[in-house]
């Protein structure tokens, strides 16, 4: 099955700085790559996703890039705010079946 690795496990930035979280996957058949945000005590929620026919996708302050050749994808958050503090998970799957997640990144944004 798919194996997803995520780095770093913790990330601390100053408010206004950018944050980057990186993931690699093992199965070249994977074609769907979502990112989830989990705030303390809450359920994970989708923040952005990308499909394998696209190299980059943006939504306001967040963006995701995908390098299919290298089998890695990254989440970029610009102008970070304290409310961005959470655990972020990347995932990979083939057509949304069999979805595997990374181990998560705890992002702390210091005011």
Partner 1 sequence: DVKVTQSSRYLVKRTGEKVFLECVQDMDHENMFWYRQDPGLGLRLIYFSYDVKMKEKGDIPEGYSVSREKKERFSLILESASTNQTSMYLCASSFFQGRTEAFFGQGTRLTVV
SS3 sequence of 84-96 = HCEEEEEEEEECC
Considering the complex, state which of residue 90 and residue 109 has its C-beta at the smaller distance from partner 1: 90
Residue 69 CB, shortest distance to partner 1, in Å, is 23
Considering the complex, state which of residue 69 and residue 97 has its C-beta at the smaller distance from partner 1: 97
The vertex-21 CA angle with 47 and 53, nearest 5°, equals 65
**Which of 12, 67, 98, 110 touches partner 1 (CB under 8 A)?**
98
Residue 35 CB, shortest distance to partner 1, in Å, is 11
CA distance 105 to 90: 9
CA distance 39 to 27: 29
Which spans of this chain sit near partner 1 (rule: CB under 8 A)?
A: 1, 6, 9, 32, 34, 43-46, 49, 89, 91, 95-104
């Amino acid at each position: 099955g798919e194996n997803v690795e995520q780095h770093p496990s913790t990330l601390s930035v100053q408010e206004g700085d950018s944050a980057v979280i990186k993931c690699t996957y093992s199965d070249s058949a994977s074609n769907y790559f979502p990112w989830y945000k989990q705030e303390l005590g809450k359920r994970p929620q989708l923040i952005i996703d990308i499909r394998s026919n696209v190299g980059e996708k943006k939504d306001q302050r967040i963006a995701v890039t995908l390098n299919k050749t290298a089998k890695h994808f990254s989440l970029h958050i610009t102008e970070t705010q304290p409310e961005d503090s959470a655990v972020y998970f990347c995932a990979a799957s083939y057509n949304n079946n069999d979805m595997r997640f990374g181990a998560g990144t705890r992002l702390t944004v210091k005011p």
